[in-house]
Structure 1
Amino acid sequence: MDSSLKLFFSGVAILLTFVAFVPYIRSILAGITKPHVFSWVIWGTTTVIVFFAQLEAKGGIGAWPIGVSGAITTFIAALAFIKCSDISITRTDWLFFLSALASLPFWYFTSDPLWAVVVLTAVDLLGFGPTIRKAYDFPHEENIPFFLLFMARNTFALLALESYSVATALFPLSVSCACLFLLIMVSYRRKVVCV
């Protein structure tokens, strides 16, 4: 695929990142959306590390949207903590969080971008655990447009990759699928749970 088209897809993915995150951050500041702090800490950490692993695996400009997302995600984790958005922590949340932390040293010792992305994608997906649990109980506290835009962003990030491999494509593909699952679940739960 033409490199200018890859640059276009990367630009669209970065634009979608901002389009998704700006209203999401405003929604947090307004007290409407209450993100689960554990999920965002896990996602921020893994996204930043995956960005560097994708660069090492020759993801090129297709990795840029992941890097931008990692920086903003880390900011949202801090904002969720400061705003005390959702700091209710269950034993299951601790299980997800500790599993995520236990997986990180594995990547460090392998020093292989493939294993980095495999392990960190698993960790990132574990980060969805607390949010899925919370969204199941409180589906009206989640922001559907955000996760829809995030799914689209990852699709464009996939299209922008300069080199396709498990190391470059697994993370954005997996996050897109997790967002789709969350969207379906929240939509269903909103129909059965009254406000």
Structure 2
Amino acid sequence: MRKAGTVLTLGLFLLMACQRGTANPTGPTMATPITMGLTTGIPAPEFELERLDGGTVRLRDLQGKVVLLNFWASWCVPCREEMPLLASIYRDYHAQGLEILGINLTSQDDFGEVRKFVEEFDPPFPILLDPNGRAERDYRIFGVPTTVFITREGIVHRVKVGILKGREDVEQTIRPLLGLR
């Protein structure tokens, strides 16, 4: 009986893990749960984080903008792969009201490697540091990269765990949020 219980528990865990990135990308009408992760349709958790280049950023100061939070680490290969895409999206949509914030999981990273990563990719958007892991916990990050799309009203619209599937994937989410066709 104990073995059957263990198998059942493992099966449920695997089912939940497969569902964790299934947020409704077209916009929920009510809270849509992501198992083990952040829930869509709720206010985005507030944070104030230090910028790598100095100063701080508070999420509440970005009210009225569409915000894309990208949680990353320098040792994450998929994070390296998607950074050029994020830079391109930022350049193309920033003037329309898109803000991208790269949030480094500093509590799990080496600061020297973070600097090297940023020097290599030179992202045009702010890089924020999360040295105590508070934003990571508040956003229930359990894998990187994780990208959180937030509406102009500060509501979590979509959570994508894992690498973004390309420009079209991102644009299908952000263009309607920005009021673009």
Normalised to the residue count of structure 2, the TM-score between the two structures is 0.28
Normalised to the residue count of structure 1, the TM-score between the two structures is 0.27
Q: Which has the higher contact order (CA 8 A, sep 6+)?
A: 1
